[in-house]
Amino acid sequence: MPLVVMVSRDMARLLRGNKVGASEAAIAALGEIEDALASLPALRPSHAVADDSRLSQYFQIDGIDRIVGESLIARLLPLAGIEAAYWKPETELPGL
């Protein structure tokens, strides 16, 4: 089950490698996020080609266990640029 991280639009641009016009505060926040993610599987865009800026804000991490993920969520949520961090729910068929 992947861990989903939703970031601000500015942080999404930074995480995708676009530092044009980024403030020093945003770049510092990016460093804090990268520090929190060190030694974990890569944070990757949930929607690789996202023309919609809302979709470009979603990233995910695959292959981490629940305990590590819960610790990461606790570290990420207080950081600037992070809007949400949660486990993606399992896909289920609609109930009848």
Residue-wise pLDDT for 23-56, tens only, equals 888 889 999 999 999 988 888 998 876 566 788 8
Cβ 73 vs Cβ 17: under 8 Å: no
12 closest CA partner among 58, 72, 76? 58
Rounded to 5 degrees, what angle do the CA atoms 31, 68, 18 make?
25
> And the tokens for 62?
């695959």
pLDDT at residue 50, rounded to an integer: 57
The pTM of this model reads 0.85
Cβ 86 vs Cβ 73: under 8 Å: yes
